[in-house]
């Protein structure tokens, strides 16, 4: 919560959700990003229970190599409450993104290391297909692959050739390396080059980190808020309809 979410995930959310800037000037881009951060409403303690999941990785293995649980790692306290996995459901309360959920998942020691943004479009109305053999329509999805294999993937439904109306899923993939060759320099070299440039559009400044409201300090207080919400509300709602509903909502964040 103090590293990946504020330093990386929120950068991706603001870049993806912001309105097109009038130029690539660093201040102009950051202003558009800041508008998105300011539009993210803070969570109440009740919403923390149903819209967040925090956890630590346990004992496991990678092939024949045995992996220690997080609390058994070197220099880690056996009572540490530092999360190694976070799943969040956020909203951006503006005209364009009202009622559109943003799902965030990040963690360490995952089965594979990948960074991507998946944009799921609304399903098409089913009315046109009621008198056909089509049972359901899957939503179209645009995936922006950031690491390690940069590219774009678009999956959508298409009619299967033939006299009957049947739908099949189609995927169109684009990979940068297939068209432009391998990356000419490591990402750290590119980052240092941009940092030394005059505009630095990819970097934030102090004003970018000052959205109003409770999200002005989310990256220092959110973990404490989760713990307070768990201690105050989890016992109160455990076994109740609301508790089961919150548990179901948290499970949905992991799927």
pLDDT at 214: 47
pLDDT at 216: 38
CA atoms within 13 A on the CB side of 55: 16
Neighbours of 48 (CB within 10 A): 21
- Residue 32: CATH number of its domain: 3.30.360.10
What is the C-alpha to C-alpha distance for residues 163 and 19, in angstroms, rounded to an integer? 44
User: Active-site residue numbers?
Assistant: 8
Domain total for the chain?
Answer: 1
pLDDT digit string (tens) for 116-136?
Answer: 999 999 877 766 677 676 777
pLDDT at 203: 64
Structural domain span for residue 44: 4-254
Contacts of 190 (CB under 8 A, 6+ apart): none
pLDDT digit string (tens) for 27-74?
Answer: 888 889 889 988 988 888 788 888 888 888 888 887 788 888 888 888
Residues of the chain predicted below pLDDT 50:
212-216, 218-220
What is the C-alpha to C-alpha distance for residues 22 and 109, in angstroms, rounded to an integer? 40
What's the 3-state SS for 38-94? HCCCCCCHHHHHHHEEEECCCCEEECCEEECCHHHCCCCCCCCCCCCEEEEEEECCC
């Amino acid at each position: 919560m103090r590293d990946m979410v504020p330093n990386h995930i929120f950068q991706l959310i603001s870049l993806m959700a912001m309105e097109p800037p009038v130029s690539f000037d660093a201040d102009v881009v950051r202003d558009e990003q800041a508008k998105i951060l300011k539009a993210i409403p803070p969570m109440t303690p009740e919403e923390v229970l149903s819209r967040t999941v925090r956890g630590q990785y346990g004992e496991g293995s990678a092939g024949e190599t045995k992996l220690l649980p997080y609390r058994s790692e070197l220099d880690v306290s056996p009572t540490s409450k530092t999360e190694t996995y976070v799943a969040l459901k956020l909203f951006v309360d503006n005209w364009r993104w009202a009622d559109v959920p943003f799902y965030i998942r990040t963690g360490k020691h995952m089965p594979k290391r990948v960074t991507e943004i998946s944009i799921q479009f609304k399903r098409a109305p089913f009315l046109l297909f009621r008198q056909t053999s089509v049972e359901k329509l899957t939503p179209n999805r645009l995936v922006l692959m950031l690491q390690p294999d940069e590219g774009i993937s678009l999956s959508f439904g298409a009619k299967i050739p033939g006299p009957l109306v049947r739908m099949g899923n189609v995927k169109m993939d684009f990979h940068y390396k297939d068209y432009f060759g391998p990356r000419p320099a490591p990402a750290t070299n590119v980052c240092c080059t941009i940092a030394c440039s005059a505009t630095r559009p990819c970097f934030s400044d102090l004003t970018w980190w000052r959205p109003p409201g409770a999200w002005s300090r989310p990256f220092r207080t959110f973990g404490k808020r989760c713990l307070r919400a768990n201690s105050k509300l989890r016992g109160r709602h455990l076994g109740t309809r609301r508790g089961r509903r919150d548990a179901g909502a948290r499970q949905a964040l992991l799927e």
